[in-house]
Amino acid sequence: MSVLDLETKKNHMNSKMFLDVSGGPGIQRYDTVKYRQFDKLTDKQLGFFWRPEEVDILKDAKDFKDLTEHERHIFTSNLKRQILLDSVQGRAPADAFNPLVSLPELENWITTWTFNETIHSRSYTHIIRNVYSDPTIVFDEIDEIEPILDCAKDITKNYDELIELSGFYNLLGEGTHKITTKGKTRTVHVNLYDLKKKLWLALASVNILEGVRFYVSFACSWAFAELKKMEGNAKIIKLICRDENVHLGSTQTLMKLLPKDDKDFDKIKEETKDQVTQLFVDAVEQEKAWADYLFKDGSMIGLNAKLLYDYIEWIACKRMTAIGLSCPYKTPQANPLPWTAKWIAGAEVQVAPQETEISSYVVGGTKQDVEKETFKGFSL
């Protein structure tokens, strides 16, 4: 498999999105594209570019000290879980999907999407460095929380299975092969249709990750801000949510286009309906368990575990309907947490330089790259 195959003549306008017989995407050209939707997603995401340092979170450090013990538990636990989720997304889309992509505009979108997720990971570090006296404590405890580990296993399972089978397919081709890994020999069956099914399930899993799994944590962050607490963190989460909505839209677009682009996926879509529905149900149950963990020692003003149950079921139903699945939950038409709507309306977020809160010109901001030479010649 070559990084750039120039020997195979191909017309990218006739290629399938994934696993086309002509091979990879070839020349990166965007003057003509088969699916303009992905080019528009890339433009939109690049237009949303932001950095966490643009948001002032100096007041959050004081707010955190004033939180009750169980409020600190809610805030810190959510940060830990979000770090884990975006640690996966900061590398997995490109690792899993790009080796199978056949269109340059789709490859470009997936690469842009993956890079954008790393900004989210850097944001959590920005928050932690400014709020906690010892950031190591937060990072080192992530793998000690059982609900976080359960979530990690679920969100990586379909990614890992796709990456493994994709590697065998690209290296060995279709057929039955004996391979040795970590000193153990096993027989693997490589089949193109099975690989496409793994791809579909991975896309469904990512759709759920982007559209469901963040929202209990998001709601908590915004609930603090509604109480005029931890408002810098909430602004960052609003920016992250705006990005996640773009990523969610891309997975929904893929799941709508793939069955038309490749008839195998039309068949796979029907075959896996129950399986994908179960992925949603499992995610909802994990989100409910996470709400229980967060509020085990007390609730917040305006938010508790039961409200989050209703909210996450409502969110899940919206996501399932968007990709043609029936929702197993009886949910109201209206948002159970209506005050979250203004936070999710991410298109209203302004990140132009004149509107941001870069600490170098925020009143009361702290500049952290000060050196001895900075004050040379200065006297009182």
Distance of CA 33 to the CA centre of its chain: 26
Check if 293 is active-site.
no
Q: Which of the 8 DSSP states describes residue 67?
A: S
Dist. CA 29–CA 51, nearest whole Å: 28
Selected catalytic residue, list 30, 35, 124, 309: 124
The DSSP-derived string for 231-269 is HHHHHHHHHHHHHHHHHHHHHHHHHHHHHHH-HHHHHHH
Dist. CA 212–CA 244, nearest whole Å: 10
Instruction: Let me know: does 85 contact 209? Beta carbons within 8 Å.
Output: yes
- Burial 22-59, CB ≥16 within 10 A → b, else e: bebbbeeeeeebbbebbbebbebbeebebebbbbbbbe
For the purposes of burial, counting CB atoms within 10 Å of the CB of 270, is it exposed (0-12), middle (13-18) or buried (19 or more)?
exposed
Q: Which of the 8 DSSP states describes residue 57?
A: -
Residue 379 in 3-state DSSP? coil
CA atoms within 13 A on the CB side of 190: 19
Dist. CA 24–CA 362, nearest whole Å: 48
Instruction: Let me know: does 76 contact 250? Beta carbons within 8 Å.
Output: no
* Token pair for 340: 């979250």
Catalytic site residues? 124
